[in-house]
Chains A and B, each alone.
Chain A
């Protein structure tokens, strides 16, 4: 498989000390819809912005379909449709004006396609942007990205401020469009149910590093959960990923491979995020063995 998005040893430092991304090696396969998951400050937005040239890496390099966005930002922009967390539309302009704006500035912008998506969602073209709901604004942002017919879509938590119905509609449009066009999408989100609905691959970021990068099927099949509590000093072994609190306050631990009950995608994500915290879990024992 060819990588649509790639980073090698990528690092981004803000100020003198704070590293948002650190020595990050990643490859996002062409034609996939990949979820980018991580806690606040894990570097998700920085990574997505770097691919459209909004952030300059401190170390390493990155490519979008083989193009370096630092050296050839214009080319990189042509390859990417970017949807930010806040759609940030021009509040003085109508939806139709936004399509005219994109047509004027983006070579090859498919206004008819964007208009079709908006028509399907009953978003009137003559509405001013500031009269739209948050969900509708997000849809306009997505329609602009889809209308660009870019081979890569980068979505920076576009669902964060949407209600469940708006999220479902947004993801429905996204998945349909991506499957139809064969594009690659990288979707940053905190909502695991959304990821399960829309994505086929998963990247977990923590502390500026990639903690996990696999298909969602592999992520679920490759992990189990055991009911454990941390007790020093007996180590369980290298198959331990991380320990985290369960829904009833019990201590759960995610392990690679078998040995426990089937893990949900949420447990896989949380287990890896727990492992990526500054003080990683090093010593646990099985409850029944203790």
Chain B
């Protein structure tokens, strides 16, 4: 059965070629732009406490590349895992049902679940490997855009780089495959997967952010580091209490109403940068589990549904 895997790629060659080409182009662009940014040599200026006048021209060049090249590439890279999951996942089973090839396949194969695994695994592997490559290209781009960043210990571009790009693509793929097995038509599946997938992933990320916020620590303004994950800001009262704006309105309405505003020191609740890998791994685990559950669910539907 493994020897017949090339047939799977041939069955879906249009989507694989299109998504593969777009993904490869974006990966190459991200690396080229990262090298371009690094080539400017603005890093030392960026990190220096008092930059020499020669840095001005370098800075202009650095930010020109940021605006003209790095930002658009980064934006497209953000969309890539969603597009990848959608366009590879939606047609996978839905088209088989829509075109009637599921009828042929299921009348030949005594085990639908084996057929399903044969059909799904190679495409999922392709998508996840491509998304992993994209994730690490974005890592490279983020590092070039933010000189001095420690990628291992920074929440910069959290969720849009590294392994989470691959996990996002995997969840989108799994969701689109699952919806396709239920709907059985490609276009409605694409539309439903686009809406439900984007909403579902951002919903899970939002819930995880809320959960993570409970683990946040309070730090003084001066102690906030660039790689920390910002959650919220508060006021620190003289007695040591930390309060939000609404609470302060009740405790000291005069300071809130004054023209200058509250004069209490501002403190921040943040997730320390060194917890990046741990939080990333947890989010990957949550999203990955949801993806696996959806693939298993789709497999169950395949074993039970009519071929159309």
Bound: A89/B108 CA distance, A: 12
Residues of A within 8 A of B99 (CB): 88, 91
Interface size on A, residues (CB 8 A): 35
Chain A residue with Cβ nearest B3 = A104
Within 8 A of A (CB), among B49-108: 99-101, 103-108
Q: Tell me what chain A mostly uses at the interface: helix, strand, loop, or mixed.
A: mixed
Q: Are B100 and A101 in contact (CB under 8 A)?
A: no
Residues of B within 8 A of A74 (CB): 110-111
Residues of A within 8 A of B10 (CB): 92-93, 97
Q: Are A52 and B107 in contact (CB under 8 A)?
A: yes
State which size class the interface on B falls in.
Answer: 20 to 34
A87 in the interface (beta carbon within 8 A): yes
Q: Tell me what chain B mostly uses at the interface: helix, strand, loop, or mixed.
A: helix
A92-B11, A105-B105, A144-B108 known; 14 other A-B pairs, CB under 8 Å? Answer: A75-B110, A77-B106, A77-B108, A77-B109, A82-B103, A84-B100, A84-B103, A88-B99, A92-B12, A93-B11, A97-B7, A104-B118, A105-B118, A109-B108
List the count of A-B residue pairs having beta carbons below 8 Å apart: 80
Bound: A92/B109 CA distance, A: 19
A–B pairs, 18, beta carbons within 8 Å: A54-B103, A73-B110, A75-B110, A77-B107, A77-B108, A84-B100, A84-B107, A88-B100, A88-B104, A89-B104, A90-B101, A92-B12, A97-B7, A101-B105, A104-B7, A104-B118, A105-B4, A106-B110
Q: Are B13 and A92 in contact (CB under 8 A)?
A: yes
Q: Are A102 and B108 in contact (CB under 8 A)?
A: yes
Residues of B within 8 A of A97 (CB): 7, 10
Residues of A within 8 A of B110 (CB): 73-75, 77-78, 106-107
B200 in the interface (beta carbon within 8 A): no
Q: Are A141 and B104 in contact (CB under 8 A)?
A: yes
State the A residues within 8 Å of B (CB): 49, 52, 54-55, 73-75, 77-78, 80-82, 84, 86-93, 97, 100-107, 109, 141, 144-145, 148
Chain B residue with Cβ nearest A55 = B306
Residues of B within 8 A of A90 (CB): 11, 101, 104
Q: Are A100 and B7 in contact (CB under 8 A)?
A: yes
Known: A78-B110, A97-B7. A84 touches B306 (CB 8 A): no
Residues of A within 8 A of B1 (CB): 104-105
